[in-house]
Chain A
Amino acid sequence: MSPRASEKSSPARDSAETFDRADLARRIRVEALRMVHRAKASHVGGALSMADILACLYGGTLRVWPDEPQWPDRDRFILSKGHCCSALYAALALRGFFPLEELASYGSPGSRLMNHVSHKVPGVEFSTGSLGHGLPFGVGKALAGKRQQAPWRTFVLLSDGEMDEGSNWEALLQAAHHGLDNLVAIIDHNKIQSLGDVAAVLSLAPLREKLEAFNWSTREVDGHDVAALSSALNSVPWNRGKPSCLIAHTVKGKGVDFMENSLLWHYRSPDANQIASALKQLGGTA
């Protein structure tokens, strides 16, 4: 008997709608930029690098319903790179999990939209901020899903920098050992971490080979090609009995020319001139 057996079974729901993912990605970028500008917050570079991934997840891949964020059979999404939550909050608000206007409170005193992702926000499963926590938690969820023969999947989005954390490699071992093909890890591989290039700080190469050696099913994709991203994400598991890891090659600061591939935008918040320029490039207004 599983814990679910005692709960009211959930009636089926139609598949989630599919959205214009390229436009959703653009709007995520616009909202995230506005948020970090208003809040004078950091980490916009990593928010922009994962915008297309989020657009694909929330634009069709994830079976989630904004009017019922806790629907028992929803797919579970965990943002392990919690410092880049501006983009996730934007995606959730754009999908209607909470009012778009609330994004203006990001990082302000008393707001539930704190600068690291918070489970107190509708649609957020798990709070992170310290790196290396999302994947082990996701392994637990996926294991529960397996033991309960549940239909939902677990998706975890990680940064490449956090692949330095030993806890992630523990979780990689466990997920493969237990054949968790209902678990998907996506690595936002923008090649820049806190103090420099990943290759210079602590090289992950050869990343795909390492993951393959850990017995994961892997794919590599241009992390800004929404068609390629969706095609990969919508076809998991790629191998029955194996967890899937998508290495998404991305550009830190993607979409704003002066932020692209720049370590500076891990830290800096755009000033008035910079936000105007950034939004102009993305077709938005300040």
Chain B
Amino acid sequence: MRNEFLEALVLEASRNPRIFLVVGDLGFSVVEPFAQRFPDRFLNAGVAEQSMTGLAAGLASEGYHVFTYSIANFPTFRCAEQFRNDVAYHRLPVTVVAVGGGLAYGSLGYSHHAVQDLALIRSFPGVLLAAPGDPLEAQACVRYLSAHPQPSYLRLGKSAEPRVHVAPIEVRPGGFQALPPAGGDSPGSCAILTTGATLKLGADLCASQALSGAWRLFSLPLWQRECAADVCEFVRAHARVAVIEDHLAAGGFGSFVRECLEPEPALQERVRCFSLAPEVCGIVADQLSLNRIGGLCSERLEPILAALTRLPRS
């Protein structure tokens, strides 16, 4: 996904002279095409995420739309205050890009596991969150962010993520992406909702014979607090909504969905959230295995979703 991100960014930068890429000495074999083509709009800030984010805000204050690029928690937690004060509070067009959202860097250990980032960043007012679930969503997010420069966070996967969408899409904040039904023309009154890398798991669940087409897959790649009405409308249109996120429960996407439903308690009953169990923190394994340990796998979720399907509708 990082290569598709960079490809999309190069394309946008070729027609938008404001786009500027700052990297925190990361991106080997990824960022070179941008650096070579736009040397005047590229900077390696060094291994210095605090000043990288501060200087990105300074560049943005002079007319650039700056993308800062690093791995997992480095461009977010390490420089959380610069993101909060310098970027978000000043409403400057900086897009913080983290590669390795969720457990994509599973074998590299806890330092590289981005499982609290959404909680941190969505607490900053006015920051748009982008969590694409496949390469096509990643490119659509880059197109949207480039056309709408603003304080934003782009949570990418790593590499070799499968395509789940079948054709290029366009995205907007609060715009739910309906994935094609896996089998037949089911009424799809039950919805699996994902943001980011759980899109593939959602697709597998929808396709599973055990669930016999009862669940339809949706993703929400772009979201922020201002999308609350869209979330209410989405839940209102479904009998059940299963939210799946590769993030700890505290403050994550599931929390976001629940907060959006605050004014309508009846809708809250339709929602079940499946987040990573905190036990996953500190364990080293590949992404798939870690997600399984954290509770995000078909074997665990299928029977739960099957039981939910059988519950009387509220």
A127-B85, A130-B81, A167-B51 are known contacts. Are A137 and B57 too (CB-CB below 8 A)? yes
Is B185 located at the chain interface by the 8 A CB criterion?
Answer: no
| A174, B45: Cβ atoms closer than 8 Å | yes
Q: How large is the interface on A (under 10, 10 to 19, 20 to 34, 35 or more residues)?
A: 35 or more
Interface size on B, residues (CB 8 A): 29
| B43, A143: Cβ atoms closer than 8 Å | yes
Which residues of chain B in 27-57 are interfacial with respect to chain A, using CB atoms and an 8 Å cutoff? Answer: 40-41, 43, 45-46, 48, 50-57
Cα–Cα, bound, A28→B53 (Å): 33
A6-B17, A137-B58 are known contacts. Are A144 and B63 too (CB-CB below 8 A)? yes
Cα–Cα, bound, A173→B60 (Å): 20
| A174, B48: Cβ atoms closer than 8 Å | yes
Cα–Cα, bound, A170→B44 (Å): 13
Is A125 located at the chain interface by the 8 A CB criterion?
Answer: yes
A136-B58, A137-B55 are known contacts. Are A3 and B86 too (CB-CB below 8 A)? no
| Residue among A1, A133, A142 making CB contact with B85, cutoff 8 Å | A133
Q: How would you classify the secondary structure of chain A's contact residues: helix, strand, loop or mixed? A: helix
Cα–Cα, bound, A136→B18 (Å): 20
| B50, A140: Cβ atoms closer than 8 Å | no
Q: In the assembled complex, which residues on chain A have CB atoms less than 8 Å from the CB atom of B56?
A: 140
| B46, A3: Cβ atoms closer than 8 Å | no
| A119, B90: Cβ atoms closer than 8 Å | yes
Q: In the assembled complex, which residues on chain B have CB atoms less than 8 Å from the CB atom of A144?
A: 58-59, 61-64
A166-B50, A171-B51, A173-B46 are known contacts. Are A127 and B89 too (CB-CB below 8 A)? yes
Considering the complex, give the chain A residue whose CB is closest to the CB of B91.
Answer: A119
Is A243 located at the chain interface by the 8 A CB criterion?
Answer: no
Q: In the assembled complex, which residues on chain B have CB atoms less than 8 Å from the CB atom of A132?
A: 50
| B89, A139: Cβ atoms closer than 8 Å | no
Considering the complex, give the chain A residue whose CB is closest to the CB of B39.
Answer: A147
Is B219 located at the chain interface by the 8 A CB criterion?
Answer: no
Is A126 located at the chain interface by the 8 A CB criterion?
Answer: yes
| A136, B82: Cβ atoms closer than 8 Å | yes
A166-B50, A170-B46 are known contacts. Are A139 and B58 too (CB-CB below 8 A)? yes
Q: In the assembled complex, which residues on chain B have CB atoms less than 8 Å from the CB atom of A3?
A: 17-18, 62-64
Cα–Cα, bound, A170→B56 (Å): 14
Most A C-beta atoms less than 10 A away, residue of B17, B43, B55, B60: B55
Which residues of chain A in 110-133 are interfacial with respect to chain B, using CB atoms and an 8 Å cutoff? Answer: 119, 125-130, 132-133
Considering the complex, give the chain A residue whose CB is closest to the CB of B59.
Answer: A140
20 A-B pairs (CB sep. < 8 Å) = A2-B17, A2-B63, A3-B17, A4-B63, A7-B63, A132-B50, A133-B85, A136-B54, A136-B55, A137-B55, A137-B57, A137-B58, A139-B51, A140-B62, A141-B58, A141-B62, A144-B58, A144-B61, A167-B50, A170-B52
